[in-house]
Amino acid sequence: MVVYFDNAATTRPFDEVIEGLKDFLAQNYGNPSSLHRLGVSAEKVLKEARWKIAQKINVNPEEIYFTSGGTEANNLALIGIAFANQKRGNKIISSPVEHPSVLNTLEHLKRCGFEIRFLKVDQNGNIDFEELENEVDDETILVSVMLVNNETGHIFDVKKIAEVAKRKNPNVIVHTDAVQAFMKEKTNAKELNVDLMSISGHKIHALKGIGALYIKKGINIQPIIFGGEQQNEVRPGTENMPGIFSIYKAIEVYERLQNEQPNKLRMIKQRFIEGLRSFDDVVINSPLDNTSDAILNVSFLGIKSEVLLHTLESYNVFASSGSACSSRGRTYNKVLYSMGKSMEIAQSNIRFSFSYLNNLEEVDYTLEVLEKSLKFLQKIKR
C-alpha cells in the first residue's frame, strides 16, 4: 500500500483534470487575447474559471486575478499594496506563523523601509486581539494574517481581525492567505471582510503553477510584473491556460466529492487521532478546536522528524515535517516554536495532511507502520 499524507504540500491532480487536459491541450491552445475563434474559445474558458473561483469566495469575477501560484499571489498582495499606499503610511502587521511566501516578502519590505510588526501567538496559534488593536494606528496600511495555518491547521478568526483593524483605522487593507483554506473551509471574502485573498491550484488537485488573488474593486495596488495589458495590467503576461482549466475542473470535482461525502476529511482525521491515543510520548500540536480537518500535526517525542519521515517512507507512507517551502535544511519547526512549543516538540513533529483521495484503510495502515517504526527507532536509540 502507498499512502500519501502530504496533501498540504501538494496534491495529485484529479483523474478528471488529467483526462480533461488531454483534449484541452490538443484542441484549445489559442491565446485568450487573440481575436480569432481559437482565441475567443480560450477566453471563454478563462472567464468560466474566473467566475467559478469568484462564486466560491463570493466576489465578482472581475476581482479575480490569475497568478503563477500562492507565492506570487502573496507577493503581489503585500508588495503591490505596500508601494501603492506608502504615502498613507508604512506600517504592516502580520503574524510570526505565516507561510514563508509571506514572511520572506515582509522581510524584503522591511529592507525597503517599511515597518513590520508581528503579533504574538499562543500555544494554539491564536493572536491577541488587544495587541492587534494597540498596534493598528494611522500609519498602518496593511494587516495580513492567514486563514488556515499550513503547519498545524489552526483556523484564524480573520473576520474578527478585519473588524478590529478596520474599527481602529477604517483605511486599513486586510489580506488573508487562504491557500490551505480554499475549498476546505469557509472562504466567503465578504463575510470575512477582507480586501485581498490568495489561493493556489495545486492544493486542490489542480496543476502546479496556477493560483489567484482576489483584489476588492477600488483597492489601490501596483503590479510587480510588467508586460502587456492582460488582467488590467495588474498581472500582465499570457495567461496559463492549462493551469486555469485545471483549477476550474478541480473545483468542479471537489464540489461533487464534498456533496457525496461532506465529512470524509473529518472522519479520517478523527480516526487518526483516536489511533494515536494508545501511543506513548505523543503530542498533538494541531488544536482540537478551530482547526482544519485536512491537517494533523503530531510530535513523537525523542525521535527527530527527519529520521521518522525516512522510516515511514520505507513503508511507502509519505508525510512531512511542515511547509515544503521551508523544510530543507531545517532542524526544527519554526511555527511550533513561535507558538511557544518546546524545542523537543518542534524537532520531532510530523505533519499528516489529508485529501478526498485518502481513505480510512490508509489511516489504519499508517498507524500500524508508526507503531513498528517507533519501536524500532526507540530500540536502536538505546
Taking only the tens place, the pLDDT of each residue in 99-141 is 999 999 999 999 999 999 999 999 889 999 999 999 999 999 9
Q: Crossing angle for the helix pair 37-57 and 241-260, nearest 10 degrees?
A: 40
Domain's final residue, options 190, 225, 256: 256
pTM of the model: 0.95
C-alpha R_g of the chain: 21
Residues 208 and 273 in one domain: no
Residues 272 and 161 in one domain: no
CATH number at residue 73: 3.40.640.10
Active site residue 325: yes
The domain boundary residue, chosen from 256, 276, 294 = 256
Residue pLDDT, tens place only, 312-329 = 999 999 999 865 555 555
In the chain, at which residue ranges do the beta strands (DSSP E only) sit? 3-4, 64-67, 91-94, 115-118, 140-144, 173-177, 196-200, 211-215, 282-284, 295-300, 317-318, 349-353
Which among 307, 325, 357, 367 is annotated as catalytic?
325
Query: Averaged in consecutive runs of 10 residues, what is the pLDDT profile of the chain (382 residues)?
Result: 97 98 94 94 96 98 98 98 97 97 98 97 93 98 98 97 98 98 97 98 98 98 95 95 98 98 97 95 93 97 95 97 60 90 94 98 98 88 64
148 and 112 in a common domain: yes
Instruction: Say yes or no: 28 and 139 in one domain.
Output: yes
Structural domain range at position 296: 3-11+261-381
- 108 and 239 belong to one structural domain: yes
One domain for residues 122 and 207: yes
Look at the chain and report how many structural domains it folds into.
2
Kindly state whether residues 250 and 266 are assigned to the same domain. Answer: no
**Residue of 17, 41, 13 lying closest to 27 (CA atoms):** 41
Q: What is the DSSP letter of 61?
A: G
Asked if 145 and 62 sit in the same domain, the reply is yes
Do residues 190 and 63 both lie within one domain? yes
Both 166 and 229 in one domain: the answer is yes
The alpha carbon of residue 147 and the mean position of all alpha carbons in its chain are separated, in whole angstroms, by 8
Query: 349: domain CATH number?
Result: 3.90.1150.10
* Residues 310, 211 within the same domain: no
Which of residues 204, 233, 256 is at a domain's end?
A: 256
Q: What is the pLDDT of residues 49-86, one digit of tens each?
A: 999 999 999 999 999 999 999 999 999 999 999 999 99
Residues 273 and 370 in one domain: yes
Q: How far is CA 180 from CA 148, 184, 209, 356, in A?
A: 6, 8, 16, 14
